[in-house]
A and B are shown apart, each in its own frame.
Chain A
Amino acid sequence: TQLLEQSPQFLSIQEGENLTVYCNSSSVFSSLQWYRQEPGEGPVLLVTVVTGGEVKKLKRLTFQFGDARKDSSLHITAAQPGDTGLYLCAGVSDSTDSWGKFQFGAGTQVVVTP
């Protein structure tokens, strides 16, 4: 059973369009991270969010942590082909049966075509 559910699984858009990727759970997380991974490489950290309701911006990327710390979203404005990759959310859950362990979502594959 996946603690973190990502949606959509796959997203294909044209350059210049906006997109949003979601990461949801029924469990509370002490923190959540977002990573981008390119084929054959390791995931690269984009951001860590720790406070409920927190919003962080990284150039054209906006990350939000839900008020209850159970969900997060990643919004990309005016997507570019360089944004193509597998986006993964991950976090450390507060639930007793997985306390202290990192949980990963299954990922959202984003393809941005010129």
Chain B
Amino acid sequence: EADIYQTPRYLVIGTGKKITLECSQTMGHDKMYWYQQDPGMELHLIHYSYGVNSTEKGDLSSESTVSRIRTEHFPLTLESARPSHTSQYLCASSDWLAGGETQYFGPGTRLLVL
């Protein structure tokens, strides 16, 4: 079982508010990721990090930002939330398992922007 945590699990917020979605893992993984996913749809990579002080934008353009000051912590921030940001946000970390690199996911944060 993966030890990766996300808070809050659910968030309802008004337009224009600043929010930070928290993600922590206790497995010591260097690589971490943020995905955006609408219900029942595919995952879209929005940010990733290969280690402390390393952050990169993913394939899907996003108005969010991330930071990686500590190995275990990879928060995502929206400076000004909009209804178009309504979605599920999934955090993951990866490691080598049985010869293959494997991702482990947190439970997700469901965001609703009114």
Of all chain B residues, which has the CB nearest A29? B100
B42 touches A105 (CB 8 A): yes
On chain A, which size bracket covers the interface?
Answer: 20 to 34
A48 touches B98 (CB 8 A): yes
Using A42-B90, A88-B43 as known contacts, say yes or no to A33 and B102 having CB atoms under 8 A apart: yes
Among B41-81, those with CB < 8 Å from A are 41-43, 45
Q: Which residues of A contact B42 (CB under 8 A)?
A: 2, 104-107
Q: Does B103 contact A (CB under 8 A)?
A: yes
Q: Mark A81-114, 1 if CB is under 8 A from B, else 0.
A: 0000010101010000000011011110100000
Main secondary structure of the interface of B (DSSP, over half): strand
Q: Does A30 contact B (CB under 8 A)?
A: yes
Of all chain B residues, which has the CB nearest A91? B100
Within the assembled complex, what's the spacing in Å between the Cα atoms of A41 and B109? 9
Q: Which of B41, B98, B107 contacts A107 (CB 8 A)?
A: B41
Within the assembled complex, what's the spacing in Å between the Cα atoms of A104 and B103? 11
Of all chain A residues, which has the CB nearest B94? A102
B43 touches A40 (CB 8 A): no
On chain B, which size bracket covers the interface?
Answer: 20 to 34
Q: Which of A33, A42, A50, A101 contacts B107 (CB 8 A)?
A: A42
A44 touches B105 (CB 8 A): yes
Of all chain B residues, which has the CB nearest A105? B42
Using A30-B100, A48-B98 as known contacts, say yes or no to A43 and B41 having CB atoms under 8 A apart: no
Residues of B within 8 A of A (CB): 2, 6, 33, 39-43, 45, 88, 90, 92, 94, 97-108, 110
Instruction: Name 21 A/B residue pairs within 8 A (Cβ), A-sorted.
Output: A30-B100, A31-B100, A31-B101, A31-B102, A32-B100, A41-B107, A42-B92, A42-B108, A43-B105, A44-B105, A45-B103, A48-B98, A48-B99, A48-B100, A50-B100, A92-B100, A102-B45, A102-B101, A102-B103, A105-B42, A109-B40
